[in-house]
Amino acid sequence: MTETTTTLTHQTFGEDPQVGVGLMADDARTAARTLAKANRGRKDAALLHIAERIEAQADAIIEANQKDLTRGEQDGTSSALLDRLKLDKTRITGLADALRELAALPDPVGTVVRGQTLANGLRMRQIRVPMGVVGAIYEARPNVTVDIAGIALKSGNAVLLRGGSAALESNKALVGIIRDALSDQKLPVDIVQSVDDYGREGANALMAARGKVDVLIPRGGHGLIQSVVQNAQVPVIETGEGNVHVFVDASAPEKMAVDVVVNAKTHRNSTCNTAETLILHKDAAAGPAVLAALAKAGVALHVDDRAAAMLPEGTEHSAATDEDWGTEYLDAQMAVKVVDSLDEAIEHIERWTTRHTEAIVTNDLANAEAFIASIDAAAVMVNASTRFTDGGQLGLGAEIGISTQKMHARGPMGLEELTTTKWIVQGDGHVRK
Amino acid sequence: MTETTTTLTHQTFGEDPQVGVGLMADDARTAARTLAKANRGRKDAALLHIAERIEAQADAIIEANQKDLTRGEQDGTSSALLDRLKLDKTRITGLADALRELAALPDPVGTVVRGQTLANGLRMRQIRVPMGVVGAIYEARPNVTVDIAGIALKSGNAVLLRGGSAALESNKALVGIIRDALSDQKLPVDIVQSVDDYGREGANALMAARGKVDVLIPRGGHGLIQSVVQNAQVPVIETGEGNVHVFVDASAPEKMAVDVVVNAKTHRNSTCNTAETLILHKDAAAGPAVLAALAKAGVALHVDDRAAAMLPEGTEHSAATDEDWGTEYLDAQMAVKVVDSLDEAIEHIERWTTRHTEAIVTNDLANAEAFIASIDAAAVMVNASTRFTDGGQLGLGAEIGISTQKMHARGPMGLEELTTTKWIVQGDGHVRK
């Protein structure tokens, strides 16, 4: 299957990536126009059918995935990356289950956002409609292929995927199955297409396809996202890093401070909503207990002088530098700073924040309000772990990523963020005076 | 005043536009943090005070404007552009009145967009907050300086203005007055700054200021907008062209068709919501009457063969070409095409649309619904003039422009579109399990 697809894409769309991806985007637009009119029932049926076919063809997927894994091993890929790349029966069931969960979510398309009858009798309403053609650029994680294809389908969009060379065979197998399933369901197969045959040039063509691709979603590490943000002429939704702070105020109850900080740092240390810097008020009675709990949890501490003095006798630590304040460790490490006041904490955060999630632990109402009002971030937590910045946790359903930009979507993005709106204005021959 | 300001900007921020605009953006960020906490009362008081000072200093503004006009005349600027540039007492009163209207509008900041208490007891709400630092790039229209500064202030944003060299003196005078008024009101003067001293390089620096400027709004002609959209690394809200179509269906009542088409074309022919192409169903009884009315209104018609046959005897016309289908005339000209079916009309629109506004005149409910569902545009009109795609007409208040992109804002943009959101999550020591 895979070799045939490679040949066919080039045969159909030609060798020039820019031209080829443009033609694929045109096909995607046509498919999207049909999909935009499909009701929720049809889209959910398709999602469930894709889930079924993915499970039924698990062996073929695993076989294709094995080729990627073998090549990865030969290329000296790290075991962490190989683990991300790997698909087994359990993970394939997970992919199918994610599609089933998607089918159970409400459909944002057709929602009336606002509306009224104007003084002159014009009836107007603003409704949610699909974006149209979405592009996705990501790295070596075949699960993203199914995730994004499912989210695009549910929100009524066609999608052009660039999944990276490391997962080439896995992604081809998955895209093939999804397209077959769409065909079974009498939906246009070009709802889901891959530009991977064009390699890296496929990604560049997607970034340049202004007017043909409505929005581009990069998913992956810092380098990938920055490259897309800097180079794309297509509008991008930036899902970003989290240099997340927790400020423990003077009045913070000890148990609460320990619980929140330890959870924010250690619940899962490689996620963007994981805390990276702890800021302690100099009078925070909870300070030493929090530091002791972090040390006990195996977190390496990078501390300023005053924080060093709060550490339990003999705790290993290193001196914090500006690099520590600016680093998203994504690891069992944490920078610690002691401040004289709430204002100093806010200024430190303003200097180093990536505007993802910032938290305060306090029992002082005025300080909580000042923190909420002063911090410019996608999410502000009061007495809650930063790990709650998550679409699932906040009850928003399937998550495409967490946006750290201010336009269109901020914070966890769900199905709604893949829609735009359309004004519908109805009159009886109304004209402007 | 003007010469001093020129010297001062360079003295303060240095000769390098990139560095200087970066420093100005930092000052804007600091000012914006203060403004974000100002309540509506303070912002409205400032708007009213700016309005008062602008009227009080009308003579100084007119004097500065005269310098721009004189230079424009010497440079051979067209009389249409000179008219746009010109400020007199009446227009200055208009500027002040627009600020007063802005003060009367509700403040989007602080609006709760959605919220709930989760099963685990976490309280979450998503509120509107200002973007932060907004950039504006526009051309030779000093009224935009006051407009954008007022809209930014009301929505809680600081703004960096690049107003173009043709209006240099006028803009300097206006920015000086606005800053003085902000100072009177004990608000940070750096809420409003001009990068005009850096000339064209100031615009380039704004476009490159990713991370320092949150959103860039280009306002002006096709060339300016495309240049910003193509070159900016800062997120852009594209306010675009309207190649607007009106489809007169077979069932369209004659009077309604004549009223809507003539109004859509001739109410004001230089606006983006003005109709440019008329599509007639071959069986539309209203066709000849519509064409006769357009001809009578002085509209030059570019027609296909079948439309030519519907023209009143002796009506001047030319043959429509592909160029006509793709042209936004912004003038008393209209392209006319006859189609066999609704589907053919929709296909023609899909090929040539700029996704701004599209209209149908019909009495066939199924056709109206099909048109609404099939057309991908910011606004779809049924039996109403395309001129209603307008923030004021749709009751949305002050308008920054009409967005033709799908991200963040689509259609008329008001104050709300200059805000973003922030999640506020409050717990009692909540941690993730």
Tell me the per-residue pLDDT of A339-366, one tens digit each, with 9 for 90 and over.
999 999 999 999 999 999 999 999 999 9
The SS3 of residue A247 is strand
Predicted confidence (pLDDT) per residue in B383-416, tens digit: 999 999 998 898 887 788 899 889 999 999 989 9
Chain A closest-CA separation from residue B363 CA (Å): 10
Q: How confident is the model at residue B10 (pLDDT cuts 50, 70, 90)?
A: low
Is residue A152 pLDDT above 50, yes or no? yes
Q: Quick one: average pLDDT of A265-273? A: 92
- pLDDT attached to residue A54: 98
Give the pLDDT mean for A404-427.
Answer: 94
B43 to each of A216, B130, B153, B181, how far by Cα in Å? 37, 13, 7, 12
Q: What is the pLDDT of residue B154?
A: 97
pLDDT at A1 over 90: no
* Pairs of CB atoms within 8 A across A/B: 209
B112 at A interface, C-beta within 8 A: no
CB distance A424–B380 less than 8 Å? yes
Quick check: B377 contacting A, CB < 8 Å? Answer: yes
Encode pLDDT of A162-188 as tens digits.
Answer: 998 899 999 999 999 999 999 999 999
Query: 3-state class of A369 per DSSP?
Result: helix
Contacts of B408 in chain A (CB under 8 A): 407-408
pLDDT of residue B8: 56
Question: For residue A419, what pLDDT is reported?
Answer: 96
- Say what the pLDDT of residue A187 is: 98
Predicted pLDDT at A82: 92
pLDDT of residue A379 exceeding 60, the answer is yes
Write out the CATH class of domain A2-239+416-422: alpha beta
> Quick one: average pLDDT of B226-252?
91
Fold of B244-393: Aldehyde Dehydrogenase; Chain A, domain 2 (3.40.309)
Q: How does residue A395 score in pLDDT terms, banded at 50, 70 and 90?
A: confident
Q: Could you tell me what percent of chain B has a pLDDT over 70? A: 98
pLDDT at site B3: 37
DSSP β-ladder status, B133-138 and B123-130: unpaired
Average pLDDT over residues A328-333: 93
- The distance of Cα B253 from the centroid of its chain, to the nearest Å, equals 33
Confidence tier at A264 by pLDDT (50, 70, 90): very high
Statement: residue A2 has pLDDT above 70: no
**Residue B146: predicted pLDDT:** 95
* pLDDT above 90 for B207: yes
Residues 207-226 on B with a CB inside 8 Å of A are 210, 214-215
Asked if B286 has any chain A CB less than 8 Å from its own CB, the reply is no
Of A230, A385, A431, the CB nearest to B385: A431
pLDDT band, residue A4 (cuts 50/70/90): very low
User: CB B388 to CB A430 under 8 A?
Assistant: yes
**CB contact B113 to A (< 8 Å):** no
User: Helix/strand/coil (H, E, C) string of chain B?
Assistant: CHHHHHHHHHHHHCCCHHHHHHHHHHHHHHHHHHHHCCCHHHHHHHHHHHHHHHHHCHHHHHHHHHHHHHHHHHCCCCHHHHHHHCCCHHHHHHHHHHHHHHHHCCCCCCCEEEEEECCCCCEEEEEEEECCEEEEEECCCHHHHHHHHHHHHHCCCEEEEECCHHHHHHHHHHHHHHHHHHHHCCCCHHHEEECHHHHHHHHHHHHHCECCECEEEEECCHHHHHHHHHHCCCCECCECCCCEEEEECCCCCHHHHHHHHHHHHHCCCCCCCCEEEEEEECCCCCHHHHHHHHHHCCCEEEECHHHHHHCCCCCCCEECCHHHHHCCCCCCEEEEEEECCHHHHHHHHHHHCCCCEEEEECCCHHHHHHHHHHCCCCEEEEEECHHHCCCCCCCCCCCCEEECCCCCCCEEECHHHHEEEEEEEEEEEECCC
pLDDT mean over B123-152 = 94
pLDDT by residue (tens digit) across B56-102?
Answer: 999 999 999 999 999 999 999 998 889 989 999 999 999 999 999 99
> Does the pLDDT of residue B423 top 90, yes or no?
yes
Q: Which of A94-98, A319-323, B69-73, B221-225 has the lowest mean pLDDT?
A: B221-225
Is A383's CB within 8 Å of B428's CB? yes
Give the number of other Cβ atoms within 10 Å of residue A362's Cβ. 25
Mutation target vs B (from A265, A266, A376; most B CBs, 10 A cutoff): A376
The per-residue pLDDT for B392 is 86
Partner-chain residue, chosen from A260, A420, A423, that has the shortest CB–CB distance to B431: A260
pLDDT band at B230 (very low <50, low <70, confident <90, very high): confident
* Cβ–Cβ below 8 Å for A379 and B425: yes
- Helix, strand or coil, per DSSP, at residue A43: helix
Over residues A226-256, the pLDDT tens digits come to 899 888 989 888 887 899 999 999 999 999 9
- Specify the pLDDT at position B307: 97
CATH architecture of B17-239+416-422: 3-Layer(aba) Sandwich (3.40)
CB contact under 8 A, A429 and B259: yes
Determine the pLDDT at residue A10. Answer: 67
Average pLDDT over residues A178-204: 96
Candidate from A132-136, A251-255, B4-8 with smallest mean pLDDT: B4-8
Neighboring chain A residues of B428 at a CB cutoff of 8 Å: 256, 383
pLDDT of residue B63: 98
At A124, list the tokens. Answer: 């107007």
Average pLDDT over residues A119-126: 96
Using a CB–CB cutoff of 8 Å, tell me whether A351 touches chain B: no
| Mean local confidence (pLDDT), B237-255 | 94
- Which of B237, B375, B430 should we substitute to test contact with A (largest number of A Cβ atoms within 10 Å)? B430
What's the mean pLDDT when you consider all of chain B? 94
Q: Is the pLDDT of residue A6 over 60?
A: no
Chain A residues in contact with B235 (beta carbon < 8 A): 235, 405-407
Amino acid present at A409: A
Residues in a beta bridge with A218: A137
**So what's the pLDDT on residue B219?**
87
Q: Which of B227, B425, B426, B433 to substitute to test the interface with A, most A CBs within 10 Å?
A: B425
Provide the pLDDT for residue A8: 56
pLDDT tens string B250-301: 999 999 999 999 999 999 988 899 999 999 999 999 999 999 999 999 999 9
Cβ within 8 Å of residue B130, ≥6 positions away: B32, B35, B36, B109, B155, B156, B157, B418, B419, B420
What pLDDT is attached to residue B128? 97
Q: What confidence tier does A5 reach under pLDDT thresholds 50, 70, 90?
A: very low
- For tokens 């499909």, what's the residue? A38
Tens digits of residue pLDDT in A34-62: 999 999 999 999 999 999 999 999 999 99
Q: Strand B419-430 relative to strand A112-117: parallel, antiparallel, unpaired? A: unpaired
Residues in chain A closer than 8 A to B361 (CB atoms): 429
Q: pLDDT exceeding 90 applies to what percent of chain A?
A: 84
Q: Per the structure block, which two tokens stand in for A265?
A: 């740092």
Q: Are A2-239+416-422 and A244-393 equal in CATH topology?
A: no
pLDDT in tens, B141-169: 899 999 999 999 999 999 999 998 899 99
Residue among B122, B131, B432 whose CB faces A406 most closely: B131
Q: B351 touching A, CB under 8 A?
A: no
CB A291, CB A311: distance < 8 Å: yes
Domain ranges of chain A: 2-239+416-422, 244-393
What pLDDT score was predicted for residue A270?
A: 84
